[in-house]
Amino acid sequence: MPEPSSRPAPKPGLATRGVHAGEAPHEPGRPVMPPIVQSATFFWGSPADGEVLYTRHGNNPNQELLGKKVAALEGMEAGAPLASGMGATAMTLLALTQAGDHVVASSYLYGATYALLKDELPRRGVTTTFVDPERGGWAEAIRPETRVVMLETPTNPTLRVVDPRPIVELAHARGIRVVMDATFASPVNLNPGDLGVDVVIHSATKYMGGHSDLIAGLVAGPRDLVTEIVRMTRLYGPTLDPYAAWLLDRGLRTLDMRVKRHNENALDLARWFERQPQVDRVLYPGLESHPDHALARELLRGFGGMLSIVLRGGGDAADRFAAALQLAFVAPSLGGVETLVSQPRYTSHLALTAAEREAQGISDGFVRISVGVEDVEDLRADFARGLEAVG
């Protein structure tokens, strides 16, 4: 008989990991789909039984499967699910900072993350310096008490691509952790850990779940950091319930094929919008006109399903455009199989002042589009209807 190979088995592809990572070994009678374990607590006879299983602790079987799966998708040591993307963001920042500490953050952040850093964490003694990635100044912003650098790429909603590599090098030389929100990319288009990022955050409500039917967050990173994030979750309580965990696992099983369709449709529509006279500007990393196009080609495996347009005519034009749509839904959130349209001034960046939005490139004519997986010809027809209403 031939000797067994000593070489490690090849790493499964991302689509395979999305289906199978974290599952129990095959055995007769094992259900193909992991069941929902709808129990708050579990029998524990003695210390020999190991850690007490309690769903608020995040060690329900459905929760544990998700932690293993997101770690596998991101190429990280460990992962954990939480009750929302903002829960994942807040618990990560609380786990990595304490009173007297300092955060350096990109000024290109999701509105609620920006508000958390600017308004909420200072109440707990943690201050933040925001850096405009286009202007730079990361080294100047770092202080002796800096513990975290917070990034997002692609950014919400302007779709800028921030290169984490020089920032990671700068931060790690000073013992500072780098956290990145990669919700818009998903693991299909980007693995920030490959670029040196320490902790990756996803609002799993979006692409990871993919069907607009759950609220969840995911984190992945080194085991010691994820353990500390889970400890914060046990104290503050944003634990994901078993049914939502089961739905999220189901969504991850089709993540690869869904995101690739999102990528295709969004690029097609971005090119189409560039030709429309009512549109002043199209923001999409896959377009040559995008300021970060060369960097996006280098870092991303796909350009994503999010695109933004700025309409001539400002807020009134954006309102008319949205009201005329019949196929796309006017609704907040993103990343579902259906196309969603929103105006950040009413939704994701409502907490910012008009001046703060303008500083981030979000004018009143700004419309964010989460491109779904519908037939792209039907989407073009619907958006043409919206543009006709603009005049």
If asked whether residues 197 and 326 sit together in one domain, one would say no
pLDDT for position 359: 81
Q: Would you say residue 34 lies in a domain?
A: no
User: Of the residues 147, 160, 206, 357, which is catalytic?
Assistant: 206
* Residue numbers of the domain that contains 302: 255-390
Residue closest to 165 by CA, chosen among 185, 188, 140, 138: 138
If asked whether residues 67 and 200 sit together in one domain, one would say yes
If asked whether residues 323 and 229 sit together in one domain, one would say no
User: Of the residues 108, 160, 177, 181, which is catalytic?
Assistant: 181
206 is catalytic: yes
Q: Would you say residue 124 lies in a domain?
A: yes
108 is catalytic: no
Q: What is the CATH number of the domain that holds 168?
A: 3.40.640.10
User: Of the residues 69, 101, 108, 110, which is catalytic?
Assistant: 110
pTM of the model: 0.93
pLDDT tens profile 340-350 = 999 999 987 77
Residue 279 has pLDDT above 60, yes or no: yes
To the nearest whole number, what is the mean pLDDT of the chain? Answer: 95
User: Of the residues 11, 30, 49, 56, which is catalytic?
Assistant: 56
If asked whether residues 90 and 211 sit together in one domain, one would say yes
Q: Mean pLDDT, to the nearest integer, of 92-108?
A: 97
250 is catalytic: no
Phi, psi of 252 (to 5 degrees): -65, -25
Distance CA 280, CA 264 (A): 23
pLDDT for position 1: 46
If pLDDT is split at 50, 70 and 90, which confidence band does 35 have? very high
If asked whether residues 233 and 107 sit together in one domain, one would say yes
If asked whether residues 187 and 282 sit together in one domain, one would say no
pLDDT tens profile 216-265 = 999 999 999 999 999 999 999 999 999 999 999 999 999 999 999 999 99
Residue 292 has pLDDT above 50, yes or no: yes
Choosing from 234, 252, 270, the residue where a domain stops is: 252
123 is catalytic: no
Number of domains the chain contains: 2
Q: What is the CATH number of the domain that holds 296?
A: 3.90.1150.10
pLDDT tens profile 151-190 = 999 999 999 999 999 999 999 999 999 999 999 999 999 9
